[in-house]
Structure 1
Amino acid sequence: MKQKILSILCLLTGLSFVNAGLDKFLHYMPMPADLPEKMIKTGMAFAQIGWLMPLVGAAEIAGGLLLTIPRTRALGAIVLVPVIVGVLLTNMTAAPSGLPFVSVLIAVIAWVIADNWRKYLPIVSR
């Protein structure tokens, strides 16, 4: 039962990352009307760095797809860690209203990392 719940959460989390990554390339999601001014300025600053958004979008797509496949889930979680840290810091400083959703994403990724801890041991052990 635990694995089925984790699989469903990973599917939903992975698809949300794929969606966010695709939007960085295709720009199909409209900007919310009530977006805080600080978040708009932050987004404009990120857009000024021409290579940053495509890089983040590619990482979101790759990590999201890897997270949806049970065999590659551990790798997907590791790929998404820097992305989710950036999302967390952006929301903490510019738009705290997004923190509940970010917290759910962090919880799912943390669960995947905890569930696959033995797979990471060769990386960190001598």
Structure 2
Amino acid sequence: MKVIKFILCLLFGLMFINAGLNKFFNYMPMEKPTPEQMKLFSAFGEISWLMPLVGIVEVIGGLLFIFPKTRALGAIVILPVMVGIVTHVFTLDKSPIGMGIAGVMLLINLWMIIDNKEKYKHLVS
């Protein structure tokens, strides 16, 4: 079980590191956006600091998520980005593959938060 958890966390972290680096270097091709997605992307373009901030959070959160000692912090750092991804995929994208990937990623993130709940107790007391 420990090996499976490590592999899932490694893949999760690497996916977020890759997504964050892509925000800066644009090396992954994108499908042609729908008109609704174009509205969203143009709105994001108006806020020039937003995508670099999301990219930095993805890279840092992904790095933290990989290592067991910092995984609890990484899971919390990634959670707002993960909520944004799930919201986007389930409202605008609606592709079954995207929904599946986003759903699995959200479950992994929630699993790590629940798995590390003891580390969060002092934050909410």
TM bucket (normalised to shorter chain) is over 0.9
Deviating 4+ runs (over 4 angstroms): none
**1:70 alignment partner, SS class:** coil
**2:70 alignment partner, SS class:** helix
Q: What is the match of residue 17 of structure 2?
A: 18
Gaps spanning 5+ residues in structure 1: where? Answer: none
The letter of the residue matching 2:23 is K
Q: What is the match of residue 27 of structure 2?
A: 28
Q: What is the match of residue 83 of structure 1?
A: 81
Between the two proteins, the alignment pairs up a number of residues equal to 123
**1:28 alignment partner, SS class:** coil
Task: After TM superposition, list the pairs within 5 Å mapping 1:105-116 onto structure 2.
Answer: 105-116=105-116
Gaps spanning 5+ residues in structure 2: where? Answer: none
The letter of the residue matching 2:15 is S
Q: Following the alignment from structure 1 to structure 2, what is the Cα–Cα distance between the partners of residues 96 and 46?
A: 20
**1:32 alignment partner, SS class:** coil
Q: What is the match of residue 49 of structure 1?
A: 47
State the Cα deviation string for residues 70-114 of structure 1 (Å, max 9, x = none). 110000000001000111111122101121110011011111111
> RMSD between aligned alpha carbons?
1.2
Q: What is the match of residue 3 of structure 1?
A: 2
The Cα shift of 1:4 comes to 1.2
The Cα shift of 1:12 comes to 0.3
State the Cα deviation string for residues 31-54 of structure 1 (Å, max 9, x = none). 124x43322332222122101000
TM-score, normalised by the number of residues in structure 1: 0.92
Does the 8 Å contact 1:46/1:53 carry over to 2? Answer: yes
**2:48 alignment partner, SS class:** coil
Q: Following the alignment from structure 2 to structure 1, what is the Cα–Cα distance between the partners of residues 35 and 13?
A: 29
**1:39 alignment partner, SS class:** helix
Q: What is the match of residue 99 of structure 1?
A: 99
TM-score, normalised by the number of residues in structure 2: 0.92
The letter of the residue matching 1:41 is K
